[in-house]
Homo-oligomer: A and B are copies of this chain.
Amino acid sequence: MPHKRYAIGADIGGTNLRVALVDGEGRIVERVKASSTDNDVFDSLVSAIESLYRDGIAGIGLGVAGVIDREKGIVKSSPNLPSVEGVGFIDGIRERFSLPVCIENDANAAALGEKWRGAGTEFDSFVLFTLGTGIGGGVVYGGRLLDVAAELGHMSIEADGVRCPCGNNGCLESYASARAMTGRVVEAIESGTESLMKGCCEGNVYKISPEDIYNYALDGDNLARETLKTAGRYLGVGIASAINIFSPEAVILAGGLTGAWNIYVETAIKEASKRAFPELFGATKILPSLLKDDAGAIGAARLAFDKTGN
């Protein structure tokens, strides 16, 4: 019997659901996007898989934001996507499609995707940060995905800092994520800081996105620039700790916020260079993701191929 040609990979992250039909070379044949902030993530996922379904599928891989119980196939905890907590993804999807199903943390899946077909192919070890609404992490070591939680966004970088929905205080995510940036802008504008962003989104500051902040920064807005730099500096604190812990060959940065590379990420790299052990920092390349928003789905598909021996 010939090997199955395809796997379906799903990335169920903070705000978007991305499902892709992936071939054995890691190429996306077809993809579906939907929102994952609705309460019916499971239904959206089923619809997406149905629309991609065809003969020759080896299995389905799911990358889901949160702490995963791989054996039970459930999400034990997901501070940014509480609607998936306790959902029996593996059993539900397996029953529906009669295919092998596996589950992994979304950032771990993205790291595997980058290792397979992205910015990580040439590295034996790297740390991936997903920089979006929240901050996730994944670690490749010895050429393989490290089967650990890798919740790098929930390292405390300010021991007595702001309370995080995860229960910790001072999480990296609370200082360097998209949510941290937009929160800081709202707070500053509400407390009277002058900014061109007051005129953004028809005056509704609650609708300002990280992209808006970046565009205003390019236009010379001081608050926008400072917001990106402050978040970038904190990201650098987290990158330095990751380098001191994992001494990786590379740090790969993924997620929407990398669009603000020349302000946010450059600040982070500069900060990390001042903080990490110099010998380790000097041996670490810091690179953008190559697969961008597809990394999670491609990595999840790879998991499905691996688990089914295809």
Contacts and interface: CB of A to CB of B under 8 A. Distances in A.
Contact of A275 (B67, B167, B240, B247): B167
B151 A67 contact: no
A77 B279 contact: yes
B77 A150 contact: no
B279 A156 contact: no
Given A157-B170, A158-B159, 8 more contacts: A125-B148, A141-B146, A149-B244, A149-B247, A151-B277, A156-B237, A157-B158, A245-B245
Interface of A: 67, 69, 76-77, 125, 137, 141-142, 146-152, 154-159, 166-170, 175, 233-234, 237, 240-241, 244-248, 274-280
Report which residue of A67, A147, A277, A280 has the largest number of chain B beta carbons within 10 angstroms of its beta carbon. A277
B168 A240 contact: yes
Contact of A168 (B151, B156, B275): B275
Residue among A125, A148, A159, A275 having the largest count of chain B Cβ atoms under 10 Å: A159
B137 A245 contact: yes
9 contacts: A67-B277, A76-B279, A149-B245, A154-B241, A156-B240, A157-B170, A167-B275, A167-B277, A169-B275
A274 B168 CA distance: 7
Given A168-B244, A279-B76, A280-B67, A157 B157 contact: yes
Given A67-B279, A168-B240, A277-B149, A157 B154 contact: no
Nearest to A160: B158
